[in-house]
Structure formats: structure tokens, C-alpha cells
Amino acid sequence: MPKRLFLIAALYNFAVGLTALWAFFFHPSLDFFNFNDYIASNPLAVTFIVVLAGIVLLFGLSFWLLFQNFVAYRPMLILGILGKLAIVGMMPILFFLGFASALTFCLSLGDLVFSILFWRVWKQTA
């Protein structure tokens, strides 16, 4: 079982979640996540962005726990697979509606790769 996969997944989620919060709160002029346009069109966007970044960070924590002790936390892998697939399914819609940037869409392709790799680990460790 590739422990490094979960370490990479945790670091990926931490990087995306923390970058989203950093860009949103401290550098809105960077706008590489397309926050400014979304906020202008939806007053609830602040809540959505902060909650979504928090969820990404929580998934990062779950991958960190899987990295630390796979046997104890293996059931969380199903949530990781479903969470990654939810992003993969949602992001193209948000992108084509103009609510997500091209960068955000490309980052979601990383989630597709992780979901496939996680599924393989799930099947191999059944």
C-alpha cells in the first residue's frame, strides 16, 4: 500500500485549501480562483468559499490520518473517493457557467487522478 500517495494527497489538499483562503482573505487582487466575479454575482459567495476551503482542508486531514495509520482509518478512504468524485463532477459545471477559473478546473483534474488511485488502493486492500 503506497503510504506516499496519502501524504501527497494530504499536501495537495492543504495547498489548495490554504491557497484559497490566503488568496481570498489577503490577496483578492490575485483572483486566480475567480473569486471576485463570483462574489459580485452572489452575496453568499463568501460563506461558500470559506466553507469549501474548510472542507478541502478537512479532507487533507483525513488523508494525513490515512498516511499515518492506514489500517485504522481505511474506512475514511471511501469518503475521500466520493469527495474527490464530487469535485470532479461539480467543477466542469461551475467552469462552464463561469463560476470557476480555468486554474480551478485544472486542479480538479488532480482530484480525478486521486480518486482513481484511491479506488485502486481500496480494492487492493479489501
Is the Cα torsion angle 103, 104, 109, 113 positive or negative in sign? positive
Q: Tell me, what's the pLDDT at 31?
A: 57
Please tell me the pTM assigned to this model: 0.84
- For the segment 38-48, the average pLDDT, to the nearest whole number, is 69
pLDDT tier at 33, thresholds 50, 70, 90: low
Q: Which domain holds residue 110?
A: 3-124
Q: According to the per-residue pLDDT averaged within each range, which of 24-28, 40-44, 60-64, 100-104 is highest?
A: 60-64
Q: Tell me, what's the pLDDT at 15?
A: 93
Average pLDDT, the chain: 86
Angle, helices 102-124 vs 76-96, to 10°: value is 150
Distance CA 29, CA 9 (A): 28
Instruction: Count up the domains in the chain and report the number.
Output: 1
